[in-house]
Amino acid sequence: MMKDSQMARHYMVDLETMSTASNAAIVSVGIAEYNETDVLRTFYTNVDLKSCVEAGLAVDPSTIMWWIEQASPARAALMKDSKHLTVALTGLATWLQDDGPSNIIRLWGNGASFDNAILASAYKALNLQQPWPYWGDRCFRTVRGEFALDPADQPPRVGTYHNALDDAVTQIHWHQAILRRYNMRLGS
Ligand SMILES: [Mg+2]
């Protein structure tokens, strides 16, 4: 039996990026801690694209063209108060550490090769230690694909499409709906 202090803490992260490669430049990070019923804490930061390119992260013209086609609230939100990549990543690490030891972090992203891999690659590009353990990687896209929800059980979209925090919170609501529907709990 695990002690309370060793209980896993679950986080959903969503990145907005300028490429879909695993070394993509990151333009915003949204992340929220959650449990079976609630969203507990949130963190959001925009990232200065130039600082990503200077760190060697990738920009793909087709992703830039995709962004130009998106709704203006999502594009405008990217421009506000952008932080240097170093400041953004150390800020995220500090926010995670405020909760306790890193070995209990379970980090959910949307796609086994997407958010978590890109974020790990950005920490590596700056020679910073990634603030969650590799065994804490979790894939929400897999869970969503394997545990289908009837339309009546599907939670409504919150906020702005492609706003990283709104996307993360929407995914959390979906995950919580799956847990309810299939009578499951978050893992340890
Ligand atoms: Mg998103």
Strands (E), the chain: 9-17, 26-34, 39-47, 82-83, 105-109, 137-139
For residues 152-168, give the mean pLDDT: 95
Nearest residue to 144 (alpha-carbon basis) of 172, 182, 112, 175? 175
pLDDT tens digits for range 52-69: 999 999 999 999 999 999
CA of 169 to the centre of ligand 1 (A): 10
Please, which residues bridge with residue 108 across strands? 12, 138
**pLDDT above 60: residue 108:** yes
β-pairing verdict for 39-47 and 26-34: antiparallel
CA of 27 to the centre of ligand 1 (A): 11
Coil/strand/helix, residue 9: strand
DSSP letter string, 85-145 = HHHHHHHHHHHHHTTS-GGGEEEEESSTTSHHHHHHHHHHHTTPPPSS-GGGEEEHHHHHH
Please, which residues bridge with residue 127 across strands? none
Please report, in angstroms and rounded to a whole number, the separation of the first and last CA atoms in the chain.
11
The alpha carbon of 123 is separated from its chain's Cα centroid by a whole number of angstroms, namely 14
CA of 29 to the centre of ligand 1 (A): 9
For residues 90-109, give the mean pLDDT: 95
Q: How far is CA 61 from CA 19, 51, 66, 68, in A?
A: 8, 17, 9, 11
CA of 30 to the centre of ligand 1 (A): 8
CA-derived radius of gyration, the chain: 16
CA of 67 to the centre of ligand 1 (A): 12
β-pairing verdict for 105-109 and 137-139: parallel
pLDDT tens digits for range 82-98: 999 999 999 999 999 99
β-pairing verdict for 39-47 and 105-109: unpaired
CA of 113 to the centre of ligand 1 (A): 14
CA pair distance 26, 159, nearest whole angstrom: 20
* Model pLDDT, residue 31: 98
CA of 45 to the centre of ligand 1 (A): 13
**pLDDT above 50: residue 1:** no
CA pair distance 148, 72, nearest whole angstrom: 32
